Amino acid sequence: MGGLLSNSGDDPTEWWEDRMAAMESVLGKSDGMVSHAVVPFQFGYDAGGRADVVHFREHVPGIVYVTSELIGDDLQLQNALGNYELAICHRKEETWCAQTISSLAYYTLDARLEPGQTMDIGPAAPPGSAISAFLFADFGRFTVRGRKARLLLCVGITPDELSACQRGNLQGVEAGLRSRNVYPFTDFQRESVLT
């Protein structure tokens, strides 16, 4: 899997600062907490590299975790929204959230993740969790250095919600997540919004 900033000659520090400013325009000021990867993203997935994840606490009554390595990386397969970072929301501190999107960041170099798509996360789900998949959603739009950029939210969904999405009932699942005040959060222990 690829490396960082294949648009040669660009300063990664400048990209970081510009990404942060753009994300803060949507999510509010970062709390200054960054879950730094032990092995940097640019070293590659096989070497153990992972994306850094920034924490935001002003946008929702909880925490928004967002990768901050992908916008500006020309190796990412852009989706219909453009270059994007992954986000996940939780109501309290939860290391699983940052670790999961940090690892998932490399997948965006090989596959396009689009709003409305789902991904079975199977054994990667937290032990004993009711969720088994992600539903991806458009979570914010901005521009970084003249490049259209977005936040793609990963919302944890249950097996029956995943099945409903796969059968064409995406709108029903999304409406249920919103009406039951689940969206935009990934709640590990909850009932299906379809029951």
- DSSP codes, 4-65: S--STT--HHHHHHHHHHHHHHHH--EEEEEE--SB-GGG-TTTTB---EEEE-SSSSSEEE
Tell which residue, 89, 90, 66, 65, has the closest CA to residue 144: 66
Q: At residue 33, what are phi and psi to the nearest 5 degrees?
A: -85, 130
Does the pLDDT value for residue 5 go beyond 80? no
Domain-located, residue 47: yes
Domain-located, residue 88: yes
Boundaries of domain holding 24:
12-179
Domain-located, residue 127: yes
Domain-located, residue 29: yes
Per-residue confidence band for 9, with pLDDT thresholds at 50, 70 and 90: low
Domain-located, residue 137: yes
Range list of β-strands (E), 57-132: 63-67, 83-90, 118-120
Domain-located, residue 7: no
Range list of β-strands (E), the chain: 30-35, 53-56, 63-67, 83-90, 118-120, 133-144, 147-157
**Token digits for 28?**
């509010």
Domain-located, residue 5: no
Q: Strand, helix or coil at 64?
A: strand
Domains: count for the chain: 1
Q: What is the pLDDT of residue 92?
A: 96
Does the pLDDT value for residue 43 go beyond 90? no
Domain-located, residue 6: no
Q: What are the pLDDT digits (tens) for 52-72?
A: 999 999 999 999 999 999 999
Does the pLDDT value for residue 124 go beyond 70? yes
Per-residue confidence band for 186, with pLDDT thresholds at 50, 70 and 90: very high
**Token digits for 142?**
């901005």
